Amino acid sequence: MKVKRIAVGVLATALCLGPAGPALAAPLSMAKLAPQVTGTRLQSALLPASAFGDGFTVADRFDTGNALLPPVALFSPSDSTCSLFQPYTLVVGFGNTAGATEGVTNSHPAIGDYPNVVLAAEQGVLQFQTIKAAATFFSQAFSLYKQCSAFTESVGSDSVQLELTTQSLSSTTIDTNEAFQLIQYVDVASRPAVSFYQSTAVVLSGTNVYAIDNLDGTNDPIAAWLLGNLIHRVQALYKHH
């Protein structure tokens, strides 16, 4: 993941410098279809980088463009692997009609305050044609994370090896919606003294699935208010449909 690569690079540099300040969905009549917006519109409603803290800037972003995608599932979370699947970076191919994602990074992390420092974060939303399709994706994502209790992934062009171990995975409710929170302990294989946590929250709300994750030095779950703000910003897009 690009943001992980950036975060690992920022952390390594800061440590060297020392402390410093497959099927088509069943056809439905247009009257029964849920309101839909394009990926470009979804992108416009994502949280600003500043929502994650002072000094955060956009590292990368992607959306599915100005047209809706056909609701054809080319693959599902159950087809993926632990090291490849991320519901907020893979926004095409799950049978969703639109999607958007954005990664942000802390350009000036206060490494001297470690572990109380957030290095990077990502947010994303997948829009499906039906509540059932969104719920199926959400359920499969939870099942995959449950299976992926420990694995290694390679990030970046320099193939930095990260070893992830699940510390906790729990179902919860966020903004009255079904959700789950995941916390993974992350070791950087090339730097045994470096470790941090990746926290992930995924929310099912209507025909949309939302996700936020961050990399930091503490094992705190993603704040419910942050996800609530993201959900409300996206839901505001549908008010005129």
pLDDT digits (tens, 9 = 90+) for 182-212: 999 988 766 666 678 899 999 999 999 999 9
Strands 160-174 and 177-188: antiparallel
Higher pLDDT, 162 or 113: 162
Q: How far apart are CA 100 and CA 120, in angstroms?
A: 18
Residue 194 has a pLDDT of 67
Residue 137 has a pLDDT of 93
pLDDT at 3 over 80: no
Q: How far apart are CA 119 and CA 110, in angstroms?
A: 9
Higher pLDDT, 121 or 92: 121
- Domains in the chain, CATH or no CATH each: 2-238 (3.40.1000.70)
Average pLDDT, the chain: 81
CA angle 199, 9, 48 (to 5 degrees): 55
pLDDT digits (tens, 9 = 90+) for 118-176: 788 999 999 999 999 999 999 999 998 898 888 887 666 566 778 888 999 999 999 99
Residue 156 has a pLDDT of 60
Percent of the chain with pLDDT over 90: 50
pLDDT digits (tens, 9 = 90+) for 75-85: 778 777 777 77
Look at the pTM and tell me if it is higher than 0.75: yes
Distance from the Cα of residue 78 to its chain's centroid? 17
Give which of 167, 209, 235 is closest to 77, Cα–Cα: 209
